Structure 1
């Protein structure tokens, strides 16, 4: 789905960062990794930090220059946290995703990330159509390389519609309780609280009103309501013994 996006790392010093980037990419369904004169690659540290994203590392292409790495790309975005003296078109990671993640033309798009300690040089930014920004704390705007790639890939993943919504337990399988069922529950609850001596006549209205508000916000389903009614029945039976 996002195969037209190429993550390009320029002169990465630490091989572990290459592995961490590969992992970040695979998390978000991306596998097009390009490396411009990495200091060490292949390397055991890269494989270790990839944590199962070995296929992304194996398919990574190595280039002698950024010019070579982006020559088949129609759009080039250079990640930069530093302000530049010359005005430059810029997009945030989210704007990038909104603009190109679902682009029907499927142009090749390069996401270029610079060195860990100094980022991209001016002559490398000259090759980019846009500066790619990740909004963050202005007092400390330097992101770890893999973290920066993760943020950008995440925005692309979500905007492209690939976000997987996990289902926990039996969410949504049981229908919500009806108004009639809830009213029977409230009567049962009020009677049980009176039986165990918790509810006093002078306070019953205000307490029940608050409890109604509480359970109405919760929107109980029928299974949850059955559990609560079971607890109330147990309390009543236990109190009678």
Structure 2
């Protein structure tokens, strides 16, 4: 059975037909949790027509005003991208990405992000992702239609769920995994402290925070680890204030 904790998140979709086709692709593969961030046209008759019987998925779609809202309580976020970036994110193939999502959904909500049709996910949106999935395609024409990309990854998720992807025995956690909200508060605190100790120059930040975010995202911190790190940051600030 496909875990109900897997969210399919479309970021600012512009074509209602793609939203409807996404709902159909999801229902084909037993996915039900659709989140739409600032959809340009929704609800829409075109979306309903393209859903072709997946009306229940459309009706249950959660409309969000921000990425923060869509990722609330998620402890694992995987983005999708067809193009290379100056700073590369940890990248998985579709099967490995699906395996991470199915395993992660056992511990709470997880999200799979798809960017706007024209631009894909922005770097600021990829910063919220622990991993990026790239679907192999011909380099001469590698951009997939949004709903097609959803169908491919939904199929991989379904296959992994049917196979009963095993939880790694080495992944023993003392507490719950840190949510996306927890991680954002930590990154804000970390940036504040790095500026205070003059390790990070806000006028010339380069890519320091992005690299640090990638590092800690890969670690998949739990609550106890998060509390330790936040405690260290608080101690640094208190020590500086005493001097």
Q: TM above 0.5, one fold? A: yes
- C-alpha distance in structure 2 between counterparts of 1:98 and 1:129, whole Å: 14
- C-alpha distance in structure 1 between counterparts of 2:152 and 2:25, whole Å: 9
| Alignment pair present for 1:132 and 2:133 | yes
| Alignment pair present for 1:21 and 2:22 | yes
- C-alpha distance in structure 2 between counterparts of 1:158 and 1:135, whole Å: 18
Larger Rg computed on CA atoms: 1
User: Over aligned residues, Cα RMSD in angstroms?
Assistant: 1.6
Contact 2:76 2:104 in 1 (8 A): no
- C-alpha distance in structure 2 between counterparts of 1:97 and 1:114, whole Å: 18
Match of 2:38 in 1: 37
State the secondary structure of the residue aligned to 2:79.
strand
Match of 1:106 in 2: 107
> Structure 1: 5+ residue runs without aligned partners?
164-241
State the secondary structure of the residue aligned to 1:101.
helix
Q: Which moved more, 1:114-123 or 1:44-53?
A: 114-123
- C-alpha distance in structure 2 between counterparts of 1:98 and 1:125, whole Å: 19
State the secondary structure of the residue aligned to 2:106.
coil
- C-alpha distance in structure 2 between counterparts of 1:104 and 1:62, whole Å: 21
Q: Show the 5 A alignment for 1:179-198.
A: none
Match of 2:155 in 1: 154
Spell out, residue by residue over 1:124-150, the C-alpha distance to the aligned partner (whole angstroms, 9 max, x if none).
111111111111112211000000000
Match of 1:227 in 2: none
Spell out, residue by residue over 1:155-177, the C-alpha distance to the aligned partner (whole angstroms, 9 max, x if none).
010111179xxxxxxxxxxxxxx
Spell out, residue by residue over 1:40-67, the C-alpha distance to the aligned partner (whole angstroms, 9 max, x if none).
0000000000000000000000000111
State the secondary structure of the residue aligned to 2:27.
helix
| Structure 1 residue 100: Cα displacement | 3.5
State the secondary structure of the residue aligned to 1:35.
strand
Match of 1:230 in 2: none
Match of 2:124 in 1: 123
Match of 1:4 in 2: 5
Match of 1:83 in 2: 84
> Structure 2: 5+ residue runs without aligned partners?
165-243
- C-alpha distance in structure 2 between counterparts of 1:145 and 1:121, whole Å: 15
Q: Show the 5 A alignment for 1:188-227.
A: none
> Structure 1 residues 61 and 104, CA, compared in 2 at 3 Å: closer, same or farther?
closer
